[in-house]
Structure 1
Amino acid sequence: MTLFLLLGLVGVFVIIMLRKAIVLMQGNNNKLVRMLQHTKWYQQHWFGGGFLFIVNVVLFTGVGLVLHLITQLSIPFIHLLIMIGAVITSIVLWVSMNRGWQGSKKNRLKMGFLGSSFYMVLALYIVYKLITLEPSFPGDDTFMAFIGLLFGLIVAIVAFITCMIFTGLSYQNKSQ
C-alpha cells in the first residue's frame, strides 16, 4: 500500500509540473468553461470559491460512497482504479474552473483557497482523530488505524495543494 501511495504522490507531482500543458490542452471551447465564463455569480471570488468548495465536497462524498459500495465486490485493486479516475475527474474539473475564471489574479487566489479549504478542513479533522486516537477495547493495537489516518492526512494535504495550484495559481493563457 505504501508503494501505491508513493506512486500516487509521484504521479500528482508530475501532473503539477505539467500543469501548463494540461491547462492549455483544455481550450475555451469546453461547454463547462463557456458556461462558467458567462455566469456572473461565478466571477465573484466568494461565490466561485463556494462553488469550488461544493464541487470538492460532492467529488469527495461521491468517491467515498462508491468506494464503500465496492467493498462488497471481491474484485482486487478496483478501488485503485476508482481513485485514479477520481483524481483525473478532479483535475479536469479544476482546470475547467480555472479556464472559466475571468477575474483578477488576487481574486483567483482567494477563490482557489476558499474552494481548496475543504481539504484543509478534512486534514485538520484527521489530525484531530490522530490526536484523540484510543483503543476500541483493552489491548487493541491502534497502529493500523494510525497508518490509515496518516495516509488520509497525506492524501488530504496533497489534494489541497493540487486544487490550490490548479485553481488559484495555475497558468492562464490570455490569448485564447
Structure 2
Amino acid sequence: MLVKRADFLAAIKNLTKSFEKNCTTALHCLTCLEDFIRPALKVGTNLLHITIKFVIESELKTRNIKKQEVELHVKSLELELEALHSSIGTLEEEIKREKCVSGEAVVRCQTLENEISRMKLDYQLQRSAGIEEFRINQDKELAVAASKFTECQKTIASLSRQLKSLATFDDFLIDSERPV
C-alpha cells in the first residue's frame, strides 16, 4: 500500500498542527509553571538567604562565645601566671633570707667548733700540766715519805739498840741481885 503523497502531506500537516497545538499548550503550561515557580523560587531563595544568615549568625555567636571563653581562660591563666611570678619572687626572697640565716649559722657553728677545739686544747694542756704537777708533787711526797721512812728506820734501829742495851742491863741487874 502505497500511501499517497497528498495523504501523507495531509497527515504531516495534521501532525504539525497537533504538534503546534501541543507545543502551545506546553508553552502555556510552562508559562503557568514559571508563574508558580518564580514566587516559590523567590520564597525559597529568601528562605535560603534567611537560613544561611541564621547559620552564619549562629556560627558567629558560637564563635564569639568560644572566643569569650578563651579570653576568660587566657585572663585566668595570666592571673595565675602573675600569682606564680609573685610566689617565685617571694620564694626567692625567702631563699635569700634562709641563705643569710644558714650562712650566719655556719659562721656561728664554725666559731663554736673553733672555741670547742681551743677549749679541748686548753683542757689537754691543763690536764698535761696537772698530771705533770701531780707527778712532781707525788715525786716530792715520795721523796719526803722516803726521807721520813729512812728517819723512822734510823729511829727504829736506835730504839732496837737501846732495847738491846736495856735488855743487857736488865740481865746485869738480875744477875747482881742473885747471891753468888
- The answer to which structure, 1 or 2, has the higher relative contact order (CA under 8 A, 6+ apart) is 1
Larger radius of gyration between Structure 1 and Structure 2: 2
Higher helix share: 2
Tell me if both proteins adopt one fold, taking TM over 0.5 as the criterion: no
TM-score (norm 2): 0.19
